[in-house]
Amino acid sequence: MNMNRALTGCGITGPFDGHSPEFAAIASSLLYQSTALGMQIESSKSPAENRALSFEFKTPHTQPIVCVVDKWSDASRQAFMTENIMQAACGLMSVHGRASGKYRPLGLNYVSTLTAALALQGGAAASIGQLRGLPIRHSSVSMAAAALLSLGQYIAGATVCESPEVLLPDNTSHTPCLPLVSSDGIIFEIETLDVGPWQKFWTEVGVSSAVAGKGWAAFLLRYAKAISPLPDELVSAISDLSYQHISQVCARTGMSICPIRSIDDRAKDDDCRHVWLQGPWEFLYERSPDSRASTRASGDLPLSGLTIIESCRRIQGPLAGHLLALLGATVIRIEPPGGDPLRGMPPMAEGCSARFHALNRLKTIEEVDIKSPVGQAKIKELVRDADVFLHNWAPGKAVLLNLDDEDLAAVNPSLIYAYAAGWATDRAAHCPLNSRPGTDFMTQAYSGVARKIADTSGNHGGSLFTVLDVLGGVVAAQGITIALLNRCMNKVGAKVTSSLMSAATLLCADDFREVYNMPTTFETSKSIIDKIYDTKQGKIAVECCDVATLMRLAEALEIDTDTETADFEAHLDSLFRSRTATEWAEVLEDACVPSAVVIENLADLQNIAYLQPGLSPGSYTSVNSPWSFR
């Protein structure tokens, strides 16, 4: 039985028709996700607040959960906000800009989508808490908390006590970098997870082994540093070859290749409309009710007393496990004998990679050789009393290891079996895309996300900031929480699958709604002003979405509002250089104009008073839980 609508019978109620424009993108994503889950949506008649978006999360078995979405972690701060201003204020523009040398927004409602997913997950988690005996009635998140969460590993690298990374768009080597361009003008990504295909590929292209080896380090570390300064010789050699020729070399050497496609290209794929309608998760319930599904909470957090077994690498899967730990679960992380090699990736904090620790600090470790019968038996023993098994193995690997959902359900029928995939499915034969590595950058290229970023950022590809790994991790944790809520209500285990591709679809849900000519709840329009200005000290991001905001800006700056005049932009450029970014931010906040000092160095985040509630100092600065419950 395929019953994907996991929360049928549940609902959300809120002032969705009259919400503040600052929360429009969050509300749109929240409604899309709730609809995909089968939830009833009721627009309340109570007046919307400007300071926050508030809604009730309801199930047939619990008291309503009041879910509040604030702008800032410090709820007393009420500065006007937009998606792009939040990206500037929390350092996302800085990380995205490292590869191009320019501070620019992603061009996606990224923070808003993350916030909506976390808000819905918070409501589901709080309901689980109630069902497990906790008196939780409120859940809250903020846009700033979501933005900081997305940057956790980069903040760790920038704030580590010994040899912190200082990677700024203005002083990093940013040319040339991926994606590459063929002689016939095709922009494309290449990918491999092993050095062998990389060396063979460049040797056949005509590049020396030494130069290819120098490029491998930059290529491999682009996940961690958001830069990829390849040697000039690599880019030059590729630019002399046609895309067809390069594709043939890839096929012979084991390298993967994917052109940068548009949203329209993706919308024409056979599976796209189904994935969009389904939402970013697939739930399968094929088991009989099991009484073991009910447990009492052992602490104050909703998932306390639940056990997660995690076998994941890199970012997506470990972040999902980290989020469940922040909700109180006990997470047991499976690592190979000798430990995960990423533990040794600099910069280091107290003997462990700061980046690795940022995603795994709350977990206990079991070293298991999952390829051996003894290791597989060990995992089944761990799963016997666990609540969730989470992995992000390559497609088909779970079947080969005898650790597929059916294998583990036989041991524990109430188990939530979670697969955080790259493309779509664990069954290789069902998805031709599974022949390509399901990595962030390949998925950005295929899904249309990279082209959408390029159109805004003025480069020719996506972002080396791990856009989809982070959102994919949030979506995976959200799907697990929803499956756990369903289990609490209906006493059944499940398999839940999410992917980087499904996260990409979520991120561009409004674009697909437009392509498929479906009614929209979120009207977009180009801002009158949306720019970053240099000041006497630092940079300031300013956005005027409408004429009223432009009038307030003009009044604050004592200038005319005729944006059509030739010297208007020049006048603004000159004017903003007369004061520091901090001084201008105070002026524009008083005028109710969305603006923020652009964070250039992530180490500065910990010194900003209104962001400090979301951060914790230590051997590196860690990001706190995005949720609070009461």
Give the CB-side neighbour count of residue 133, counting CA atoms within 13 A. 9
Residues 6+ apart with CB under 8 A from 238: 180, 181, 182, 205, 246
* Alpha-carbon distances, residue 382 vs 90, 327, 417, 528, 604 (angstroms): 39, 21, 13, 57, 42
Strands 364-367, 494-499: parallel, antiparallel or unpaired by DSSP?
unpaired
What's the pLDDT score for residue 400? 93
**Lowest mean pLDDT across 218-232, 261-275, 284-298, 340-354:** 284-298
Q: Which residue from 199, 165, 152, 218 is spatially nearest to 464, judged by alpha carbons?
A: 218
Give the pLDDT confidence score for residue 563 in this predicted structure. 67
User: If you average pLDDT over residues 390-412, what whole number do you get?
Assistant: 94
My answer on whether omega of the bond before 176 falls inside 30° of 0, hence cis, is yes
- Rg of the chain over CA atoms, in angstroms? 24
Tokens, residue 246: 């390069």
Q: Band of the pLDDT at 2, cuts 50, 70, 90?
A: very low
Q: Model confidence at 431, in pLDDT bands (50, 70, 90)?
A: low
Contact 535, 580 (CB under 8 A): yes
Q: Which pairs count as long-range contacts for 517-526, CB under 8 Å and 24+ apart, including other chains?
A: 520/28, 521/16, 521/27, 521/28, 521/31, 522/24, 522/25, 522/27, 522/28
Residue 84: strand, helix, or coil: helix
The answer to whether residue 289 scores a pLDDT higher than 60 is yes
pLDDT band, very low/low/confident/very high, at 430 (cuts 50, 70, 90): low
How large a percentage of the chain has pLDDT more than 90? 79
The pLDDT tens digits for 208-251 are: 999 999 999 999 999 999 998 899 999 999 999 999 999 999 99
pLDDT digits (tens, 9 = 90+) for 306-363: 999 999 999 999 999 999 999 999 999 999 999 999 999 999 999 999 999 999 999 9
* Beta strands 494-499 and 138-142, pairing class: unpaired
Minimum mean pLDDT range among 9-23, 205-219, 381-395, 484-498: 9-23
Bridge partners for 258 per DSSP = 189
Sign of CA dihedral 600, 605, 607, 608: positive
Please state the rounded mean pLDDT for residues 188-192.
Answer: 96
Rounded mean pLDDT, 559-568: 74
Please list, in sequence order, all residues whose beta carbon lies within 8 angstroms of the beta carbon of residue 170, skipping any fewer than 6 positions away: 101, 600
**Three-class SS state of 450:** helix
Confidence of residue 523 (pLDDT cuts 50, 70, 90): low
* Structure-model confidence comparison of residues 162 and 390, the more confident one: 390
- DSSP state letter for 241: S
Per-residue pLDDT reduced to its tens digit, 511-521: 999 998 877 66
Compute the average pLDDT of residues 578-601. Answer: 96
C-alpha–C-alpha distance, residues 71 and 58, integer Å: 23
What is the distance between the alpha carbons of residues 161 and 141, in angstroms, rounded to a whole number?
A: 29
Question: Tens of pLDDT along 115-146?
Answer: 999 999 999 999 999 999 999 999 999 999 99
Confidence of residue 526 (pLDDT cuts 50, 70, 90): confident
**Whole-number pLDDT of residue 426:** 63
Kindly indicate the confidence band of residue 425, based on its pLDDT and cuts at 50, 70 and 90: low
Least confident of 169-178, 412-421, 461-470: 169-178
The tokens 């009614």 sit on which residue? 519
Vertex 168 angle, CA 164 and 170, to 5°? 145
pTM of the model: 0.96
Q: Is the pLDDT of residue 168 over 50?
A: yes
For the ranges 44-53, 189-198, 524-533, 599-608, the lowest mean pLDDT is seen at 44-53
Q: How many CB atoms lie within 10 A of CB 73?
A: 24
> Binning pLDDT at 50, 70 and 90, where does residue 389 land?
very high
Indicate whether 39 pLDDT > 90: yes
Shortest CA distance to 592 belongs to which of 561, 534, 551? Answer: 551
Mean pLDDT for 456-467 is 89
Mean pLDDT of the chain: 92
Give the SS3 label for residue 248: helix
Q: At what angle are helices 232-239 and 209-220 packed, to 10 degrees? A: 100
Q: CB neighbours of 118 closer than 8 A, spacing ≥ 6?
A: 141, 145, 146, 149, 474, 478, 626, 627
Mean pLDDT of the 486-509 span: 95
DSSP state of 162: S
What DSSP letter does each residue of 362-404 carry, written as one string?
A: T-EEEE--TTSHHHHHHHHHHHHT-SEEEE-PPTTHHHHTT-S
